[in-house]
Structure formats: C-alpha cells, structure tokens
Structure 1
C-alpha cells in the first residue's frame, strides 16, 4: 500500500488545485432507444478545442470555470445533440443520443467533421458496429464479429475458415480478448469456423492494434475489447435467429422498471442432428458434432451513484464417434469450452472520480477420451486447461478539461494443468502428467493521463507494472506507454505511439486448424515471459464528413517467443515435461497500413491495404538465421461495403460484399524423409494422435516455412431485406454467397510420391438466415 500513497496524494493535489472556483458537469451518455451506454462518446465545448470522451461505462466529467457553455454530444452513427448550460454549480446531465440510419436523417450541425478521428490521441484502433457484422455475408449465414474484423488491414485470419486472428504479424495467443472485461482463452466454435461470440448479445467491439493504453496488459500484439448488451431497462423484447449452421434466441427487458434489467442469449448448432440420423439409418456408427453457448447479464441501479453488473458466459463444443460390431467396439469423444463470470460495481465517488471494482473467474478446458475394445482393450485420455481468478479496482479521474486520468490495481491468480495423460492397455494403467500443476500470481498497477498540452499537441502518457510469481520465480516488468498526436490542420493529424508489453502465458501449438489441442502454459524459471516493444507513426485525414483516411506504419520486436523443437512430440513422456520440448527465440514484424472508410450515405464501407513482413529467429533452427513466420503475408487487400437499396421506414433492402486478397500462407516442404519407428514402451510413451501406428514417416525441415502457398482470395456477397411489422417487431432475411467465383484456396499441402498435393476447404457456399425481432 505504501507504493500507492504518493500516487493518491498526487491526484488529491489535482482535486485541490483545480477545485477552487470551478464547477463540474458530469453524467452518462446512452442510446435513446435501447438505453445502452455509449463508451467513448465525445463531449466537446463549442468554439473551443477542448472536450472529453466517456469512459467504458458511458460516464463523462468536465471541470470548468463558471460561465455559459454549449456542449456537443456525439458518437459514431448517432445524431449530434447540443446542450446549452449556465455553469454556476456542479451539474449532472444525462444524455440520450438517437441513432441515424441514412444521411438524410442527420441534422446540418451533425455533418461537421468527426473531430475525434484526428483530435483523439488513439492510434491503431478500430471499431466495428454490430449492425455491420449482422449484415455481412458469412459462411453458413452465421454473422461473426471476428470474421468481420479480419477485413481490416493488419488483422488476418490465421487460416481460411478460422476465427483465430493474427494482428500485425503476431500469433493468435498474443491477442488479449476480453468479454465484459474478462479474458477469453479459446475463441473457436466448430473447429474454428465460427467464433464463440454470439453477435445478438453484443453491443460494442473495439480493437487496439497499436498504441495500447496502460490499463491493458498481459499480451504482446493487440487488445480486443468486446462488451455485452446490458438489456433494455424500459421494454421487454428479444429475437430469434435461424441459419443453416445454428439457431439462437435472445431475451431482454426490465427486472424492475427504470432500475434494473436483464439479457439472456442461447445458441446451438443443428449440424449434429442430420448427421446422426443419416448414420443411424445407414451405418453401424454413431457420430456427431455440436456446440452451444449461453450468455447472461443483469444490472441494478442502486442509486444515482452506484450500479452493479453480473454477467456470465458458458460455451462448449463436443465431437464424438461410436462404432460397434460383432468383433470390436470403439468410443471416442472430444470436448472443449470456456466459462466466465464477472461481478462489477460502478461507484461515482465524486463528480470528478469514477470507480469500477471487478471480480472475475475465467476458465478453459479440453478433454479427449478414446476407448477401443476387441481381443485387447485400449483406453487413452488426455486433458488440459487453465483457471484465472482476479480482482481489480479501476478509477477515472477528471481534474480539469485538459486531463483525463485513469489508474488502477489488479491481482490475479492462475492455475494451469497443461497435461494429464492416461494410457491403459489390457488393464495396465500408465499415467503421465498426473498432479502436474502450475500456479502463478500476478500483481499489477497502472496509470495514464490523456492530456491536452497545446491547442495542436495532445498525448496519452502512462505506464504499467506487472510482478509475476510462479514456482518460486519472480519476474518484474515496467512497461511505459505513450501515444501522441499533433494537428497539422483541423482535419489532418500525425500520430505516434510506443508501447512496451509483457506476456506471461505461452501457447504451445500442435495444429493450425482451430482444434483445441493447443496447450496454455505459464512462464517458469526456464521458460521466460514473452516481451515486446511496438512503435508506430501515421497520418490521419478527414477530408469530408463521413470520410476517413489513414496511413499507419509500425515496427514490433518480440523476445522469448517459444515453439516446439523440430521433431519433438507435442505431449511429454514420463521422462520429459513440455518445458523440455520447447525452444525460445525472437521475432520481428513491420509494415504499413492504408485504410479509407466511408460511413455516411447509401454507400458505406472501407478499402484497406497492408504491406508487411513477419519473421522469427531461433538459434536451433535454420542455423540461427531469420525465417518467415507462418503468419507472414506480404500483401493484403480488403474491400467491405454496403449499398442501401431502399428504406421507406417500413421496408429496407441492402446489398453487401466482402473481398479479400492476400499473399499465400507460409508453409514447410520436407527436405528429408525417412522411416522411423514410433516405439511405445512402459518407460516413455510417445503420446500423440498418431500413436496407434508402430511405424511413422519422419519428416525433416531444413528451413521452416520454406514454401509460399498460392495467393488467397475470395469474394462474398449478401442481400438483406427487413420489414418493420410494428413499432417493436420486425423480420429480416439475409441471403449470402461465400466464395462467389468458387476459388479453391489451399488449406494445406501434403507430399504424395514426391508431389505436392493441395487440400482445399470451402467451395462456393450459398446460405440463408432468418431473424424475427420483437
């Protein structure tokens, strides 16, 4: 506590200094119809280059000298609202903004430039509207927020069809993905073809690719902050959605009018039902695959200064196959999933100081079980997982109009079970990894100040400290963060950033197709935490209202990244642990991104291009020379758009499209092939998925990722029609076609008789989905 006393005294001095002869305007900014809060909404003082952004809960605060002011409240996709105030005492004003659907509905005043795009100190950030996600064409007609993000420059899917993303040349495990502030460790449903996030239950999505604020920590490459809906506090409602892949329902409404609300959503796949029925009729086999996810959220307004939230997520995938005849039977099952629970308490300590207290639990687990019985019996089980408990206190402090300060502390306890393997043959039991568990404790503190230095110059200056303890080993990291912007003109700004990052979790990857055979492991005495520093420099230009253009260059250097040794088994034997099978190295990624966006009028969307390079370097591989990283994609072009065909207030129709082109994936061609024996013994069993064969073909790669697959590209189109049936009821049809010109993109290659054979995944796929909302 003694370390934080000077910190607290510093902020109290701000309050004392700026409290004399000044008054504060504060309140919440929310959606007029749904009452959802609008995080990041802007409050600007007319005729002054001053203002503030609402925090993650829609709260804002401005401290000014007495006088007459006009304030402009704005948020992307909403009509600007002006309020005139004679500030002679502390004042609370809560604002509700109305959504605008077409440019004709926007007032003349609202057509001013979005000052936040150039005046904000944020750089390398992207926001995607949930409405945009729901309109985009998708595989199987199921909207997916992560698939939409993949059309932004610098954000790419790790492989076709997968939800896992690579950001600016980093690996998927280097992304901090938060759902209502809670880390989510597995984002894949359906072997990665869908993400675990149900778009019907989400309110906002914000991605940080660079210039990451000090309040975020624990990962190297990016932050994806996803917020769930709060639930309508005024009216009960809901929706039902059906696609060829899954069906979902959402219910929301007040628990007690004007003081509390709830939201519940559920989603489940249909794929297992026809498969199981067909096999039951034609084959002596039972097989199926299904997934589900459940989300729930409730919030209560205790009084004007206190509000509490409780939210939870539960999701699971399950694949199984059973076979039985007169001679033998087998039973194989594989399941994996996430669970999160979070409690949050918002407390307005004063009109300048906002507090949020959080306690959460997050877990991920996967389990595999295989039983075979003929003249012999064989059982194979493997499981792994992690648990994360944390408490945190975060504060937003607004001493005056030139400073917006955030600071906080967090304590987290993590438990890892990276491997638990049971192998039984003819009732002989051999267990590997039993009781192996890694525990870690992380204590963190941060502070950042978003300040206006001069009329043209602004900056966000901050720092984060993390102390990580595991197995008697401590690691301490000081991580400075800085973003700055300089206004060359009102519509043109240059922005720069520097971020030092540390990551204490490692992901050992065995597969690139979204299977949960990956292992989350902790840093130890022999496997050090990953760390990186990132810098960026860019120009941001807004020529007209609704048009934004940016050019952003970046450089990222990474240390202590890990991978499996060449030829090493993914899972450990009795003599070895995972630590014995990994090697440590470094990486580098750099590039430049171009993005042109238009978000007003009948035609909206964006065009993006990224030129980038990502390499890894390990002493034990390629003679210590750098080699292309598997996520290295030199050229990347994306076009995403919507054209509103009509909207008369009752019927609306729109046409959407999404096109992507990028350099092919980096893969490895074997240089040497030879036969080797996969020996299974009591002393050390080679436990991997191919362990049933006694002889395996061994493949040696002299240079990893020495082959570049053909270019990856496809065009998707969609058509959406919505009819408003009454004030609150509507129905929507979405017709979409994935891969219109039937491009057979390579999913992976394999060698057959010294020839490269290509396996492709998705041909042209038409689909239709239906949503009824009330």
Structure 2
C-alpha cells in the first residue's frame, strides 16, 4: 500500500474518532433536569411526580436510548443525588436522597407529607393544603377524566349538596365563599352545563392547590376555601399535544415551543350536544333543566317549549417568553361560555305564535405577569389582570305578552406585586401589595308593565400582606404566620386578617397540626327570585355596600349588604407509616354578615331580607391504606353541626343551615394493574334540611303557606355508588391512548336533593321535588403525542 493510501486511512480514522468524541461530548452535555425528564417521559411513556423545589437548579445528561428505564433512573440518581422511586409501570416519584443517619428520623426534607393521597397525583402538604396534579392523576370513582372541581369533592369536608361544581360546599360554606383562581386570576364562573362539568380544562393545568384553612397571606377573599389552579410556567422546549372526546364534549390542547425562549400553550373544548344527542346528554339535560322555564309551563295554555339548542365551549391560551434567565413574561387568556336558546310556541286565538328565549353565561379573562429574579434568593412578580363575567337572559312569556331582560355583569381588575425572599432552606419570606377594583351591575327590564332597574356598584381595595415560613433542620417543625391588611376607601374601613399554619412531627410517624385564619370578602351571590334567568342559573353576583339600613335607588329598595367576615381554627392529628394514613381534624368556623338572599331559602324566609351569621363545628376523619402501589382504599367520615343565627328571624333562635349535612361517609377503592385502572366508591350522607308546611294551621284563603319551624326536618338520606375504569396503550411511536368508561349512580338511586312547596290556582299546596342524576354512563377516548 502506498504512503498516500496509508495517510488517507489514517486521516479518515482520525476524523471518525474526533466525530465520535464530539458525539460523546454532546451526549454528555448537561441540561436542566426538567428538559431531561420530559424526554424520558416521552421515550418510556411514564410520568414523574415531584415538588418543584426538589429539582430546582438540577442538571443531568440525556441518557442513552439503549438503556432500560431502571438503568436510566440509576444514572439520574448518580448524577442528581436524588431518589427516583418507581411507583408502578407509569409513575416515578422524585425525592430528596437523605443520608442514612436521617432516614429513620424524617420522611421528607421538603413540604410534602403524603404522596398518592387517595390516588396518584394528589399530595398532602404539611401546611394543611392539598396539591392535585392532573397530569399524574390516577382515577376516582365515577370519573374518567381529572375534572378539577369534581376531584376536590373526594376530600373530607368537601361536598356538593346538588351534585354540581357550581355549588361546592366546603365546611358548610356556600359556593360564592370559595376563591377560584386560574393562573392567579379570579374566576366568577366555575361550571359548564350550568354546573355539571368544570369550566377549566384539566389537561393544561399543571397543579391545583386547595386550602380549607390556614391560608397563605397572599390570598384575599374566599372565606371558605382557596382553589388555586396553575398552568405550567417553565419553558422546557418539549412539544406536547393531545385530544379526546366523551359523550358530552371534545377537546384538544398543545404545548408548542416557538423558539428556545418562547412557548405557546393552548386548549379548546366544545360540547357536542348541539351536534349529536347522546344518552348522557339527555340525562344531564333532565337534571339541569328540571323545574326551570323550559319544563314549567301550563299544558292548558297549549304552550310548548321545543327546539332547544344548548352548547358550551372554553378556550385558553398562555404565552411564555423568557427575555433573559432572570426576566420572564407570561400572557394569559381564557374564555368560557354556556349558551342556551329555546323556542316557545303557542296557539292563541287560532294563531300560532313563536318567540325565542335565550340564556348566556360567560367568563373571560386577560392577564399579564412579569417575574424578575434579582438574585438566587430574591425574586419579584408583577401581575395585572381583568376578568369579566356576564349572565344574560331574555325570557318571553307568550301567554301574558311579556318580555323580561335580565343581566348580571362583573368587571374585576387587579394589579399585584409579589416579593419572595428565600434566606435559606429553613426561612422564607413573602410579601406584597394588591390593588383591586370590582364593579358589578344588575339590570331588569320588563315591557308589560313597563319597568326598568339598573344598579351598578364599585368597590376598590388596597391590600398589604407579609408572611414568614420556617422549616426546622430536621423537617419536623413547619411554621407559617402572616397578616393581610385590607383597606376599603369607600367604607373608610381597614380589616386585619392574620393567618397561621403550624405543623409538628413527633414519634417519627405522628404529626400535630394547628391552622387558623381571619378572612373577609366583598362579593357574594344572591337569589332574588327562584325563576330568575329562566330558573336555570338564578344566582347573581352583588357587592357589599356596608349600608346600615335600607336605602332606595330608582324606586328599588337596596338592602344592607355588609362585608362578610370569617374566623376559623382547626386542630389535627395525623399518623402515617407503612402506607397507612389515619387523620382526624376538628374545626370551628364562624361567618358574619351573610344575607338570607345568599342562602337560597324556599320557605317562609324566601322573600325576607335579613343579615345574620352561621357557625359550624365539625370533625373530618380519614383512613387511607395503600397496598404495594397496586391497591388503595380509603374511608372518610365527616360530622358537622351548622346553624344560622338571624336576630330578626325565628325570634333570634338558631336553626339549621341549608347546608347542614350532619353526617357524610365515603368508602372508595382504586386498583391498578399495569395499564388498567379501576375505581369503585360509595357515598352516603344525611339528608338536606327542609321546612314542612304546617297543614294543621294553614289558612287556604290567605294566599300564603304557613310553615313549621325553619329547617326543622330533613330530606331522606343520600346514597350513591359510582365506578370507573381506564385502559392506556401505545398506538404510535411516542403516542399513547387512553380509553375509559364510568357509571355514575350505578344502582339508579332516586335521591331527592331539594324540596319546596308552592300554591296552585286553587290555593292548594303542591310539593315540588328536585332529583339528582340517575344512572349515568359515560365513555371517553384520548390520545397524547
């Protein structure tokens, strides 16, 4: 061989070696751990579960594609010094890898106390709050999709008397006393299909934080609870998309990297109810529209409601732009809408007449936030947003030649500056300022007889808050305390709201918990008439006016509406060992400034305007046992006594709250085998309080109903069994499908969720009963890319 040929081979081998070394260098380049985890999730069809603080500032190399999942986790463990625990074939928990000297004394070095609380994707923290991650959510009885507001009803102390997500009762409070935040923006509408489906798409939600007490000082409003829904806030340059449908709606979502420092997150969901009629839709329709203007008409008038058209949709978008490593801008958009149209026909004097009635409910929001990381310890976030809620109805009464227009609008604008200072792992400080302006208007317009009323109120508030969080070196002691100061210039009033959360671990497996808070809110929902807004969504938002007495505006009496104030304290004891968790928590809550109009009375107090309070004492008990990450079962029981006190009613004597559910019991189990999940559950609770007519003393000639003691009786006990199952499988490279089926109310139990009484044309008393959903099946299929 010639020297020239030998030299060529040498040069070729040299460059091949250089290329191989270059390839190895690229392969060994370290990337942010969030990016590496996303690649591994896509490669092996798994999901990682972790606290954000656990992987903060961690980096790793991208593992070789030829490695098995177990080998990849071992590599990551060596590089990051974190513990990667394979829970099953789909979920991996990431924890801080503790020295052997500490493993027998503590369970975690962060704020996580219990992972897989009830099911995968639900975590309990040592400040008393619950975190739900829809992406890693397992399964719950009756649910085949991670509906946020349905999921939280599985928590002790949380239920919905009428089975809706627009009327969630948390420790005896009304739904308007819950603060719903979507990426930091306050929401005034929570449900689609007028309450049967959550209005928030779970597939673009990263996590949901739920707090029933001991709320952080940065949160205002929401005297019953905080439900904080957060979208992904970090750019990981990984494309992800998916879509699916069930017998009610279809949706798509996508997370699209636009460049190395920009990302777009979008989602769209729309009902199929106006395109195809399904058995599930018919059951939902029967449940929602019962006892409404669509079903309540006099057959003798030969009026017929038909050609009803109903649909809903929601659209969300979030744009992420990392200007620099320290400067980040986020843009938020949401629009959720429900629309109903129906035609009313009548034959009057041998002439056919038809008019179209409408109902529209919408919540839209725009927000912009800017985060600056000044140092590794100090960061600030500035946010501005505007949220708008509209409830509009046009109701035609052909027989009486009457047209009624009703409108309720909320415009809420806010500017907030939040400051975080992490001194070290043991001490963290948070503070800030928030300005809020809320304007609420109510319109009623009748053409026969001519009447028009338009009232608009505006309340502005300035809030300062500060909070300190302390975590001991051994993670056994956790303390958060803070204060929020709200000033209302219109009322020349300042309200202090101290907050406390204390947790102490002892005897390795026991934890003592103390939570307390004072809170206030200026917004509430009332019912003027049960048939308002076609009788479907009859609640309207109003603002506190803090008037000491009745005033008259535009010939309409304006009742006093004070600022609602609450104080709450709870004590808990928790035991957690060998995947057995036993929890007991007692609480006391007192709420002042509520109006009878916000409580939905349908008895002798239906048209009475009075201001009072309610007090609830209760205990929440939970036992949760997990077996080898395959089977999880839990039993929860809640006892509570919830009483009203209105000085002007019932001689000032306390009587049961409309939401006084004395006993509530839930028994559920979840079984996971490879890619198959199955859940079965039973829910039982005592009946809702009701008021019976006093037939013995009723005068049929006075055009009124005489009642017995308010809420002196109860409806029959409520009982419901649900089941659900899902199966996931690969369909294409890096694509996965999930099919599911569920049955709500398996045994078709005839549960009565409300009863009231009315007079007919002959002044005879009629009993009206509202029923819950009967047996309701649903199926779904989803694909994720």
List aligned pairs for 1:617-656, cutoff 5 A: 617-645=645-673, 647=674, 652-656=675-679
Q: Which residue of 1 aligns with 2:468?
A: 449
Deviations along 1:226-248, one digit per CA (max 9) or x if unpaired, are 11245874233311211111111
C-alpha separation in 2, matches of 1:620 and 1:388 = 33
Contact 2:166 2:175 in 1 (8 A): no
Out of 458, 461, 465, which is 2:481 matched to? 461
Q: Which residue of 1 aligns with 2:23?
A: none
Out of 210, 213, 236, which is 1:210 matched to? 213
C-alpha separation in 1, matches of 2:691 and 2:39 = 51
List aligned pairs for 1:424-435, cutoff 5 A: 424-425=447-448, 429-433=450-454
Q: Which residue of 1 aligns with 2:417?
A: 393
C-alpha separation in 1, matches of 2:36 and 2:84 = 5
Tell me by how many angstroms 1:759 deviates.
4.0
Contact 2:166 2:194 in 1 (8 A): no
Q: Which residue of 2 aligns with 1:440?
A: 459
Out of 335, 355, 362, which is 2:380 matched to? 355
Tell me by how many angstroms 1:127 deviates.
2.3
Tell me by how many angstroms 1:444 deviates.
0.3
Any idea what SS the aligned residue of 1:460 has? strand
Q: Which residue of 2 aligns with 1:191?
A: 194
C-alpha separation in 1, matches of 2:422 and 2:213 = 25
Any idea what SS the aligned residue of 1:596 has? strand
Is 2:330 aligned against 1:319?
no
Contact 1:152 1:638 in 2 (8 A): no
Out of 257, 268, 271, which is 1:269 matched to? 271
Tell me by how many angstroms 1:155 deviates.
0.5
Out of 249, 258, 261, which is 1:259 matched to? 261
Tell me by how many angstroms 1:698 deviates.
3.4
Q: Which residue of 2 aligns with 1:530?
A: 564
Deviations along 1:247-290, one digit per CA (max 9) or x if unpaired, are 1111221011x3121111111112233469999xxx99421111
Q: Which blocks of at least 5 consecutive residues in structure 2 are unaligned?
A: 1-31, 42-46, 59-71, 115-123, 283-293, 295-303, 548-560, 759-763
Deviations along 1:47-106, one digit per CA (max 9) or x if unpaired, are xxxxxx57xxx8689xxxxxxxxxxxxxxxx98999899xxxxxxx99998985459967
Relative to total residues, which structure has the larger strand share, 1 or 2? Answer: 1
Out of 124, 127, 138, which is 2:128 matched to? 124
Out of 337, 361, 383, which is 2:362 matched to? 337
C-alpha separation in 1, matches of 2:130 and 2:429 = 22
Is 2:589 aligned against 1:556?
yes
Q: Which residue of 2 aligns with 1:304?
A: 325
C-alpha spacing 1:165/1:356, structure 2 compared with 1 (3 Å)? same
Q: Could you tell which deviates more after superposition, 505-514 or 604-613? A: 505-514
Is 2:617 aligned against 1:590?
yes
What is the TM-score normalised by the length of structure 1? 0.78
Any idea what SS the aligned residue of 1:150 has? helix
Q: Which residue of 2 aligns with 1:149?
A: 152
Any idea what SS the aligned residue of 1:135 has? coil
Q: Which residue of 2 aligns with 1:328?
A: 353
Deviations along 1:101-139, one digit per CA (max 9) or x if unpaired, are 459967998797345355998443222331575733547
List aligned pairs for 1:674-713, cutoff 5 A: 698-713=704-719
Any idea what SS the aligned residue of 1:766 has? strand
C-alpha spacing 1:79/1:164, structure 2 compared with 1 (3 Å)? farther
C-alpha spacing 1:474/1:517, structure 2 compared with 1 (3 Å)? farther
C-alpha separation in 2, matches of 1:100 and 1:601 = 6
Any idea what SS the aligned residue of 2:364 has? strand
Q: Which residue of 2 aligns with 1:33?
A: 38
C-alpha separation in 2, matches of 1:104 and 1:160 = 31
C-alpha separation in 2, matches of 1:34 and 1:121 = 28
List aligned pairs for 1:540-551, cutoff 5 A: 540-544=574-578, 546-551=579-584
C-alpha separation in 1, matches of 2:385 and 2:194 = 27
C-alpha separation in 1, matches of 2:75 and 2:219 = 31
C-alpha separation in 2, matches of 1:80 and 1:618 = 64
Q: Which residue of 2 aligns with 1:495?
A: 513
Q: Could you tell which deviates more after superposition, 454-463 or 509-518? A: 509-518
When Rg is computed on C-alpha atoms for both structures, the one with the higher figure is 2
Contact 2:269 2:313 in 1 (8 A): yes
Q: Which residue of 1 aligns with 2:28?
A: none
C-alpha separation in 2, matches of 1:386 and 1:469 = 20
Q: Give me the CA root mean square deviation.
A: 3.9
Q: Could you tell which deviates more after superposition, 258-267 or 741-750? A: 741-750
C-alpha spacing 1:598/1:225, structure 2 compared with 1 (3 Å)? farther
Tell me by how many angstroms 1:437 deviates.
1.1
Deviations along 1:727-772, one digit per CA (max 9) or x if unpaired, are 4211111011111122111132245976856442322122211112
C-alpha spacing 1:95/1:474, structure 2 compared with 1 (3 Å)? farther
C-alpha separation in 2, matches of 1:529 and 1:552 = 29
Contact 1:739 1:764 in 2 (8 A): yes
Deviations along 1:512-554, one digit per CA (max 9) or x if unpaired, are 999432121111131221111111111122212x443321111
Q: Which residue of 2 aligns with 1:378?
A: 402
C-alpha spacing 1:421/1:387, structure 2 compared with 1 (3 Å)? same
C-alpha spacing 1:134/1:161, structure 2 compared with 1 (3 Å)? farther
Tell me by how many angstroms 1:675 deviates.
6.5
C-alpha separation in 1, matches of 2:453 and 2:602 = 14
What is the TM-score normalised by the length of structure 2? 0.77
Contact 1:135 1:734 in 2 (8 A): no
Out of 417, 437, 448, which is 1:413 matched to? 437
Contact 1:192 1:514 in 2 (8 A): no
Tell me by how many angstroms 1:370 deviates.
2.3
Relative to total residues, which structure has the larger helix share, 1 or 2? Answer: 2
Is 2:776 aligned against 1:765?
yes
Tell me by how many angstroms 1:667 deviates.
2.1
C-alpha separation in 2, matches of 1:663 and 1:457 = 38
Tell me by how many angstroms 1:422 deviates.
1.0
List aligned pairs for 1:596-607, cutoff 5 A: 596-598=623-625, 601-604=629-632, 606-607=634-635
Out of 441, 450, 475, which is 2:493 matched to? 475
Tell me by how many angstroms 1:28 deviates.
9.0
Contact 2:156 2:636 in 1 (8 A): yes
C-alpha separation in 2, matches of 1:230 and 1:107 = 19
Tell me by how many angstroms 1:656 deviates.
1.6
Tell me by how many angstroms 1:702 deviates.
4.6
C-alpha spacing 1:377/1:235, structure 2 compared with 1 (3 Å)? same
Tell me by how many angstroms 1:311 deviates.
1.3
Any idea what SS the aligned residue of 1:437 has? strand
Contact 1:31 1:96 in 2 (8 A): no
Any idea what SS the aligned residue of 1:710 has? coil
C-alpha separation in 1, matches of 2:514 and 2:704 = 48
C-alpha separation in 2, matches of 1:409 and 1:565 = 30
C-alpha spacing 1:169/1:348, structure 2 compared with 1 (3 Å)? same
Deviations along 1:410-446, one digit per CA (max 9) or x if unpaired, are 00111110x2111113xx743122xx21111110011
Aligned length: 666
